[in-house]
């Protein structure tokens, strides 16, 4: 009979066999999927390593290479996450069957955890009796240590400063130690908390309202107005240090200058103000002075502002071709004369945009064809960049000698080629406009050949402004002109600290703890490059 016990047993056996085969097939599919995901992630990881090695070996050759590097990092992030998900799915599928071994993804060797991190030992005691025979005669052979990185959530505490009072039994005079100095009058926030608020706002682009919400979730209610009071008080207290950095920057033989828009809140709308930066960085020509950045704020982009900022400066200014710098170059010769040196990256970018095939392909078939002349200009300019990478860090005299020997012939050939090609182009041709940008300012572009202190680009200023440009996406706009001025003060401190390889938050915490009581004659000790060399707090950080 069909319903006999034997038939039912046979059907159950067939069902079990089919289920086992289905589980095995599912495990094999999951294993192959995990293997494919792992292989794809490994390929992208190797591509990323190759690009980074090429960049270290040959330097950054183009904007496209920089975009490719960022794209590969983002792609690798997604593929690594996908590979981990597929690996876990393969493990779960393999656990259902004994026919398919679990897939184990190849991972790069992990670096050991830093030695300075504290270690907490969690000991799992060994068994007291033998698991095989039950004997209690066991001898210790050693131990196996597995390390797991963990983080302790941020801890808040209240520091109580107790000042004891005493009374003299002879004269009845009451004595008490003086109250400790505090960076903010009647302040309630410690220097580490103040440094965190400042760095989160200006270094990590977290507006105060977001900080207030996060602190509330951690059990500490700090209103937006309360945090704003501390920011304003700290900006005022740090003004003397900002002045010292400004003096140091403006004493440079050569400056990098640039500016960027800053939206500012107005009545029912926002208006566009400007943030200016002046960077001192003598390391390209072997200078020993510490690098630093000075930020300024203005309500508009009038030429009056750079003229005011560099009123007492006399040296080389590396910048773009902004007409607002022209009054500086036309000043009477002497101590206040400013020498113009233009940026080859700006000039190259105009040609590169006309020769960038990859960017045009994304626009579709209607994109105009790439310009062979622009591509040729990019190749010729890249040859100059290759020479500059090789002489970076040499003395000014050595740089000038190599430029005279190697760069000058290339520059002269570039000028002759551009003038010859320009003669046959229409006035409205885009590549002609890019050529005119250089040819009309040829003296300022070629000044680097005769002065080893001048860099080929103004990238130092653009790097200094990068954080502010990224921050605009988070804080959207400044609240007022005073807010823009405060931002200029704090950005000066944070960017200068980063340029000197100093942790900005640790440095600000120590500065805020000491600046109220340190004599003015020793204030220079708090500058990032001196602090890094001498401060015990710097060693601890």
pLDDT digits (tens, 9 = 90+) for 383-437: 999 999 999 999 999 999 999 999 999 999 999 999 999 998 888 888 999 999 9
CA dihedral (445, 449, 454, 455) positive or negative: positive
Residue 155 reports pLDDT greater than 60: yes
pTM: 0.76
CA distances (Å), 482 to each of 308, 466, 521, in order? 18, 22, 29
β-pair partners for 293: 279
In degrees, to the nearest 5, what angle opens at C-alpha 13 toward C-alphas 10 and 14? 90
- The domain spans of the chain are 10-94, 165-328+458-541, 344-454
Q: What is the pLDDT of residues 231-287, one digit of tens each?
A: 888 888 899 999 999 999 999 999 999 999 888 776 666 788 899 999 999 999 988
Q: How remote is the C-alpha of 10 from its chain's centroid? A: 68
CA angle 335, 337, 341 (to 5 degrees): 135
Residue 146 backbone phi and psi in degrees, to 5: -115, 125
**Residue 492: closest CA among 528, 520, 459, 517:** 528
pLDDT in the model for residue 361: 47
CA angle 57, 61, 65 (to 5 degrees): 100
Would residue 161 be called left, alpha or beta, if left means φ above 0 and alpha means ψ between -120 and 50 degrees?
Answer: beta
Q: How confident is the model at residue 292 (pLDDT cuts 50, 70, 90)?
A: very high
pLDDT score at 44: 66
Best CA proximity match to 350, nearest among 266, 440, 281, 265: 440
**Euclidean distance between CA atoms 248 and 244, whole angstroms:** 6
Residue ranges of alpha helices (H) inside 341-499 are 344-355, 357-361, 372-391, 396-402, 408-422, 430-439, 442-445, 459-475, 481-499
Per DSSP bridges, beta strands 269-280 and 254-266 are antiparallel
- Cα separation of 313 and 295, whole Å? 15
Give CA–CA dist 402/391, Å, rounded: 8
- Tell the residue number behind the tokens 């067939």, with chain if given: 14
- Report residue 370 as tokens: 């790439």
Residue 152: name the closest of 222, 218, 220, 221 by CA.
Answer: 218
**C-beta pairs of 483-487 under 8 Å, 24+ apart in sequence:** 483/264, 484/262, 484/264, 484/273, 484/275, 484/297, 485/297, 486/231, 486/232, 486/235, 487/202, 487/262, 487/275, 487/295, 487/297
3-class SS of residue 183: coil
Whole-angstrom CA distances from 127 to 131, 142, 144 are: 8, 13, 15
What confidence tens digit (pLDDT) does each residue in 323-358 have? Answer: 999 999 988 755 568 999 999 999 998 898 888 644
What is the pLDDT confidence band of residue 142, given thresholds at 50, 70 and 90?
confident
Nearest C-alpha neighbor of 86 from the set 37, 42, 22, 40: 37
What is the helix, strand, coil percentage profile of the chain, to 5?
A: 55, 10, 35
pLDDT, residue 483, reads: 81
pLDDT at 3 over 90: no
User: On the CB side of 35, how many CA atoms lie within 13 Å of its CA?
Assistant: 9
Q: What's CA 156's distance to the chain center, in Å? A: 28
- Give CA–CA dist 406/386, Å, rounded: 11
CB 24 within 8 A of CB 99: yes
Euclidean distance between CA atoms 436 and 431, whole angstroms: 9
DSSP string, 57-95: HH----HHHHHHHHHHHHHHHHHHHHHHHHHHHHHHHHT
Greatest mean pLDDT among 173-177, 403-407, 469-473 = 403-407
- Tokens found for residue 287: 């200078």
């Amino acid at each position: 009979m069909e319903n006999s016990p034997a038939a039912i047993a046979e059907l159950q056996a067939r069902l079990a066999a089919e289920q086992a085969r289905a589980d095995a097939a599912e495990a094999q599919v999951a294993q192959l999927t995990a293997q494919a995901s792992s292989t794809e992630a490994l390929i992208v990881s190797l591509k990323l390593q190759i690009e980074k090695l090429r960049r270290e070996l040959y330097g950054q050759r183009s904007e496209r290479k920089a975009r490719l590097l960022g794209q590969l990092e983002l792609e690798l992030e997604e593929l690594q996450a996908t590979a981990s998900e597929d690996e876990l799915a393969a493990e779960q599928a393999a656990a259902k069957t004994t026919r398919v071994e679990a897939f184990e993804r190849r991972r790069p060797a992990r670096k050991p955890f830093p030695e300075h991190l504290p270690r907490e030992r969690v000991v799992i005691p060994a068994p007291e009796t033998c698991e095989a025979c039950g004997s209690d005669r066991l001898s210790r052979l050693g131990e196996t240590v597995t390390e797991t990185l963990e983080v302790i959530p941020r801890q808040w505490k209240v520091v109580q400063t107790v000042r004891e009072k005493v009374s003299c039994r002879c004269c009845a005079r009451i004595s008490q130690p003086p109250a400790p100095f505090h960076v903010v009058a009647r302040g309630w926030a410690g220097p580490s908390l103040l440094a965190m608020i400042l760095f989160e706002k200006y270094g990590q682009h977290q507006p105060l309202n977001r900080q207030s919400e996060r602190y509330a979730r951690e059990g500490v209610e700090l209103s937006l107005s309360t945090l704003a009071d501390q920011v304003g008080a700290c900006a005022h207290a740090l003004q003397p240090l900002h002045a010292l950095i400004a003096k140091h920057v403006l004493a440079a033989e050569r400056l990098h200058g640039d500016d960027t828009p800053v939206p500012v809140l107005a009545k029912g709308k926002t208006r566009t103000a400007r943030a200016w930066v002046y960077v001192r960085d003598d390391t390209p020509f072997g200078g020993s002075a510490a690098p630093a950045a000075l930020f300024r704020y203005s309500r508009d982009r009038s030429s009056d502002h750079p003229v005011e900022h560099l009123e007492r400066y006399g040296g080389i200014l590396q910048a773009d071709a902004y007409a607002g710098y022209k009054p500086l170059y036309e000043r009477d010769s002497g101590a206040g004369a400013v020498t113009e040196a233009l940026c080859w990256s700006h000039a190259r970018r105009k040609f590169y945009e006309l020769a960038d095939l990859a960017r045009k392909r994304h626009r579709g078939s209607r994109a105009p064809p790439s310009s062979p002349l622009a591509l040729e200009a990019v190749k010729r300019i890249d040859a100059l960049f290759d020479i500059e990478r090789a002489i970076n860090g040499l003395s000014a005299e050595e740089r000038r000698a190599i430029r005279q020997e190697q760069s000058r012939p290339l520059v002269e050939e570039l000028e002759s080629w551009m003038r010859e090609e320009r003669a046959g182009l229409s006035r409205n041709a885009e590549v002609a406009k890019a050529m005119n940008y250089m040819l009309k300012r040829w003296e300022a572009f070629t000044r680097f050949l005769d002065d080893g202190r001048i860099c080929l680009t103004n990238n130092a200023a653009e790097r200094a402004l990068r954080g502010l440009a990224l921050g605009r996406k988070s804080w959207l706009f400044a609240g007022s002109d005073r807010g823009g001025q405060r931002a200029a003060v704090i950005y000066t401190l944070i960017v200068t600290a980063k340029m000197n390889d100093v942790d900005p938050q640790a440095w600000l915490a120590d500065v805020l703890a000491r600046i109220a009581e340190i004599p003015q004659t020793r204030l220079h000790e708090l500058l990032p490059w001196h602090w890094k060399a001498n401060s015990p707090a710097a060693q601890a950080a």
